[in-house]
Structure 1
Amino acid sequence: MAKLSALLCVHNEEQRLPACLAALAFCDEIVVVADRCNDGTEAIARQYGARVISGIFPIEGARKHAGLARCTGDWVLELDADEGVTSAFAEEVRETIGRAGAADWYQVPIDNYIGDQLVRHGWGGSFGTSSAARLFRLGVKSWKSERVHPGAKLDGVYGGRLTQPLRHMVDEDIGDMFARLSRYTALRAQDLADSGKIKSVADDAFRGVRRFLKCYISRKGYREGDLGFLISLMAGLYPILSNLRAREILRSRARDVADLPSSAPLPLRRVEAASQ
């Protein structure tokens, strides 16, 4: 039988981690990357037999690669602590990798919940997804060096889409949604400031409008009522806020450089006078 590794990257998830790990008994091993955890996350992971990698990983891509380096399975199931699996999902994953043949990776559907409400439509624009490549052979998937939502590269043969979804507890309420938007745009702004790939406000405003319309109309966010509108709005705000916050970072860095004391060498005459 093909060996299956579960990979989780977490930060201070002592509340949600037990339920997530308990449902992963169908995996042959669990690898948990504990990023700057100062609660009981690592102890809980070890209680469930997980292999724990502890460290400081500000770059999301680096976190995932650190975890993959410790996986020994033929296949990897990638998930987060706020995601859960059912017995039907576990059975389908096992059946899928057992008959994969030439296939190297699969798309996994995701059911997203805000509180106790299932929200199926409108996700996208870096503010959520209803499907992701989460099941793949070891060595097939890699990520860019970015802090949030790093671009992923998948090599090999696409095997199709599973039918059973992951259950994703996205946010508790609208307040959590705003807090998440703030976290995401802060991290994205740092990536933009580091890369220098900052567009004009007009360009990002145009992108924002396109994202809103795509999520609300093309992806049928309108079918989710108030939450669908809000998800689409936040998807549209994401590039605009990220850009504005990146500009703020660059201005702050420029001020810091301007405030540095001069390190210019002393004039030659003063040096000579001191040596006499």
Structure 2
Amino acid sequence: MAKLSALICAHNEELRLHACLSALSFCDEIVVVADRCSDGTEGVARHYGAKVVSGIFPIEGPRKHAGIARCTGDWILELDADEGVTPEFAKEIRETIEAADAADWYQIPVDNYVGDQLVRHGWGGSFGTSSVARLFRRGHKSWKAERVHPGAKLEGRFGGRLTQPIKHMVDEDIADMFARLGRYTALRAQDLADSGKIKSVPDDAFRGVRRFFKCYVSRKGYKEGELGFLISLMAALYPILSNLRAREILRNRAKAGAEERPALAPAPVPLRRAEATQ
């Protein structure tokens, strides 16, 4: 029988973690990466028998790799603390990994909720997704060293998309959605400032318009009414705000560097001829 490890990365998720972990009895082990936690996250994880990796992981890629290093399963199932699964989901996962012709990695659909409203359409543009590559054989997925939504490399044979979704409580309300945009763009801005890959304002504006059209029209965000429009708008603002904030970071770094440099000694004032001969 294939051994399945569940991997959850959490930062101060004591209140949400109970619901997430209580549904993972179908997994053979649980690994929780407790990143800079100051609440009861670690206690909750240990209550459910999880292995706990405690530390400071400002970069998401190394955080994921630290968790993978503690997993011993043949397969890894990634979840976030604000996500939940059903018995039907558990059944499909076990059947998938125990099949004789199992592939190396699979996409899993996501049902995203804003409050108690299920929002199926319009997600994308680094502000949400309706499908994720979260089930894979150990050693077949790795991440880049980025702070938010790191790029991932998947190796081996793709097995397609499963049918049972992850339930994701993505935002509590509209205010929470705006707060998430602020968090995401702050982290993305740091990545851009570090890499120096900051685009021009006209280019950002063009990307924003393109993302809005893709989310609202191509991905049918219009079917979700006001929330669909707002999600598409957040996706459009993401690259613009990220790059503007990256420029601000670079200006602040330059200013701080200038203030730290020692002031040059003033040049000596030449004496007038009369003073020099006295």
* TM-score exceeds 0.5: yes
Q: Is the 8 A contact 1:100 1:159 kept in 2?
A: no
* C-alpha displacement of 1:263: 8.8
Matching of residues 119-138 of structure 1 within 5 Å:
119-138=119-138
> Which residue is 2:151 aligned to?
151
Distance 1:100 1:154, change over 3 A: farther
Q: What amino acid maps onto 1:252 in structure 2? A: N
Aligned to 2:70, what secondary structure does the other structure show? coil
Residue in 1 that maps onto 2:201:
201
User: Does residue 1:110 correspond to 2:110, yes or no?
Assistant: yes
Indicate how the Cα distance of structure 1 residues 179 and 89 shifts in structure 2: closer, same or farther if over 3 A, else same.
same
1:270 is matched with which residue? none
The alpha carbon displacement at 1:258 in A equals: 0.5
The one-character-per-residue Cα deviations of 1:43-74 (angstroms, maximum 9, x if unpaired) are 11001000000000000011000000010000
Counting aligned pairs with the same residue, the percent is 80
**How far apart in 2 are the matches of 1:156 and 1:19?**
32
CA displacement at 1:102 relative to structure 2: 5.0
- Cα-to-partner distance string for 1:95-137 (whole Å, 9 max, x where unaligned): 0001152510000000000000000000000000000100000
Q: For the Cα contact (< 8 Å) 2:96–2:102, is it kept in 1?
A: no
Hey, what does 1:83 align to over in structure 2? Answer: 83
**Any residues of structure 2 matched to 1:31-42 within 5 Å, and which?**
31-42=31-42
**SS of aligned partner of 1:259:** helix
- 2:210 maps to 1:210: yes
Partners of 2:49 and 2:36 in 1: CA distance: 20
Where do 5+ consecutive residues of structure 2 fail to align?
265-278
CA distance in 2 between counterparts of 1:226 and 1:197 reads: 33
Residue 53 of structure 2 aligns to a residue in which SS? strand
Equivalent position amino acid for 1:15 in 2: L
Measure, in 1, the Cα distance between the counterparts of 2:70 and 2:148: 22
Q: State which structure, 1 or 2, has the greater radius of gyration over its C-alpha atoms.
A: 2
Per the TM alignment, residue 261 of structure 1 is displaced from its structure 2 partner at its CA by 3.5
Q: Is the 8 A contact 1:10 1:33 kept in 2?
A: yes
Secondary structure of the residue that 1:126 maps to in structure 2? coil
User: Would you identify which runs of 4 or more consecutive aligned residues in structure 1 move more than 6 Å?
Assistant: none
Are the counterparts in 2 of residues 127 and 238 from structure 1 also a CA contact under 8 Å? yes
How many angstroms apart in 1 are the aligned matches of 2:92 and 2:260? 59
Match of 1:221 in 2: 221
Q: Quick one: which amino acid aligns to residue 199 of structure 1?
A: K
Cα distance change, pair 199–182 in 1 and its aligned pair in 2 (3 A): same
Q: Distance between the aligned counterparts of 1:229 and 1:63, measured in 2?
A: 33
